[in-house]
Structure formats: structure tokens, C-alpha cells
Amino acid sequence: MKHPLLAQYPLALPGYQYVNTLHESDNAVILLTHHSNGLPVVIKRFKFDASHLSHELVDEFILESKALGLLAHPGLVRPLDAGIASGALYMTMEYVQGVTLRRHLATSGTPPLAQALQWFEEITLALGVIHGIGLLHQDLKTSNIIVRNDQSLALLDFGLETRLLVASGFLREDEIYCTPYYISPERIIGDSPDERTDLYALGVILYELLVGHKPYESNTLAELLKKHALAPIPRLPDNLSTYQPLLNGLLAKFPENRLQSADGVVRLLQDVSQRVNSGSSRS
């Protein structure tokens, strides 16, 4: 593969032909390639020096990647392989055509309620699959969700690399690896993440899907973090107030007051939806 970006971040993987760069972040470059089998494949090439990583940590990353790949869940972008080449850690993934949910919401606006709830349930179910094999997402946000051409959703980036970023020195142990608009209060004060941390981010996404903007916004990082930690949970508009208990259960400031699992979120969503439908049929 020959490209200016690959001159800076070389990657020699036989059988892959570079097509273009899909994205570049602080810690990785995302490349679209064609494999020799004729299929498009996405390669995530991490920028940090993999030589500082222990064999045990790299092996764990590869095993977790393969475990996710075996799930073959429609709500997840499936990893295909992982390893080290040209001194860099990489992961190959299936190529999913579509746009990010963030871009879709920015260009198309707030979706109809039925579509918003369907998407929310799809995201929750996919998150539950990740949690079911003992993993956390840790960076759940609309830009890590792909809207396929058939309008179904698929989650990207499963938080596998967080430990590697710390071990390589790319990220400090006390740094928060997530997006401030989706950060949970406990992460702000340095507590370790768990499933409920992901569920808080899920609550932010629910609000975005229903209302069209994030529950907490600010021009400064300090003020944004303060709102996540201390500001009241926003009230939904009157026509959406039936879903307030669901939002409250996701955006609770303390993890112990939050909904405790993705399964619990789906059950509450279904209960609320059933009450809404029952009320509609009686009117």
C-alpha cells in the first residue's frame, strides 16, 4: 500500500490494496482497502509504538477482537483479524456502507418517533452483546454508530484499545478516554468504568434521538463536565414525557441509581412502549 499517510504510519500487509483514508484520529488511521479475495476491508492502524506492549496484552487484544468477530451480530461492525505489522498494531474489519448516525442526524434532523425508538433499541441490544462477553464500549457516541443504507445500525469501536493506549504511553492512566458530551459523572471524578458507564452514554443518545440535540451543551469543557456532574436531568417535551422514566434511569448521576444492564433498558423501553400503545388503542 502506497500513500502519503502510510509513509508516516507505514503498514505492510500482503494481500491488501489501499483505496482511501476513511478517518484519522489522535490514535489511529482508518483505511479502506481491497483484499485479494475481492472484498472491501477496513483496516484500523494504531499510531502508537507497539514495541512497548507486552505479548500478553497484545494476545488479549487479538483474542478479544476475534471473540467479537465470532458474534456475527448485525448491530456490530465485525472485526476480522488483528495483529502487528510494520511495528504497528492493527485490526481489520468488515466494510459497512453508510454514514454515521451523527452525520445522519445533522443532515436529516430528528427522526420520527418510531424510527428513533427502533434505533435506540438496536443500539441497546448491540451494547448488550458487547457487555455479554465481558467487554465495555467506553466511547459510545453517534459518530461511532453507522446507519446502513437499509437504515439499520451498527456499532463501531468497542473500547478494546484503551488498555493498549495506556500501556504504550499514548494515554495516561488518569486520563479519560471518551467524548465529553457522553461522559458519565463517575468517570469525571476518576472512577473505573463499568456497564453503567456505557448506559449513561446510551441515555445521551436517547435524548439526541428524541429531541434533536444533546442533553448537556456548553462552550467550555469545564462547564460541560460540571453539567454532567451536577445539572438536573433535562425534561422531555410534554408529547414525549412517557419516556422520561427511561431517560432518568439512564442519566442518573450515581451509577447505583441508574438502570443496571442493557437487558433492563430494553425491558423498560418495551414496558413504556406497551403503555403508549395501550393508551392509543383506548382513545
- Render pLDDT for 246-278 as a digit per residue (tens, 0 to 9): 999 999 999 999 999 999 999 999 888 877 776
- List the catalytic residue out of 26, 59, 81, 139: 139
* Residue where the block lists cell 507505514: 10
Cβ(250)–Cβ(127) under 8 Å? no
Q: Is the pLDDT score of 168 beyond 60?
A: no
- Report pLDDT for 274: 79
- Report pLDDT for 174: 44
Confidence band for 145, pLDDT divided at 50, 70 and 90: very high
Which uninterrupted H or E stretch holds 118? helix 113-132
- Report pLDDT for 227: 94
- Report pLDDT for 163: 62
* Residue where the block lists cell 456475527: 72
Domains of the chain (ranges; CATH) run 7-94 (3.30.200.20), 98-282 (1.10.510.10)
Q: What is the pLDDT of residues 1-44, one digit of tens each?
A: 556 667 777 787 888 888 888 887 777 888 898 888 888 999 99
Distance separating alpha carbons of residues 199 and 117, to the nearest angstrom? 16
Distance separating alpha carbons of residues 68 and 66, to the nearest angstrom? 5
Q: Residue 89: which of 41, 50, 42 has the closest Cα?
A: 50
Q: What is the pLDDT of residues 62-108, one digit of tens each?
A: 887 887 777 778 899 888 888 888 778 888 988 998 889 999 999 99
Q: What is the pLDDT of residues 187-217, one digit of tens each?
A: 898 888 899 999 999 999 999 999 999 999 9
Q: Is the pLDDT score of 283 beyond 60?
A: no
Q: What are phi and psi of 213, to 5 degrees?
A: -150, 170
Confidence band for 45, pLDDT divided at 50, 70 and 90: confident
Is 139 a known active-site residue? yes
3-state secondary structure of 112: coil
3-state secondary structure of 99: strand
Q: Which residues contact 221 (CB under 8 A, 6 or more apart)?
A: 180
Cβ(255)–Cβ(197) under 8 Å? yes
Q: Is the pLDDT score of 173 beyond 50?
A: no
- Report pLDDT for 154: 92
Is the pLDDT higher at 50 or at 33? 33
Cβ(94)–Cβ(33) under 8 Å? no
Given CA atoms 55, 57, 61, 63 in this order, what sign does their dihedral have?
Answer: positive
Which uninterrupted H or E stretch holds 34? strand 28-35
- Report pLDDT for 1: 52
Q: What is the pLDDT of residues 147-162, one digit of tens each?
A: 998 999 999 876 666 6
Cβ(211)–Cβ(251) under 8 Å? no
Which residues are registered as beta bridge partners of 154?
146
Is the pLDDT higher at 175 or at 245? 245
- Report pLDDT for 208: 96
Distance separating alpha carbons of residues 278 and 45, to the nearest angstrom? 50
- Report pLDDT for 235: 96
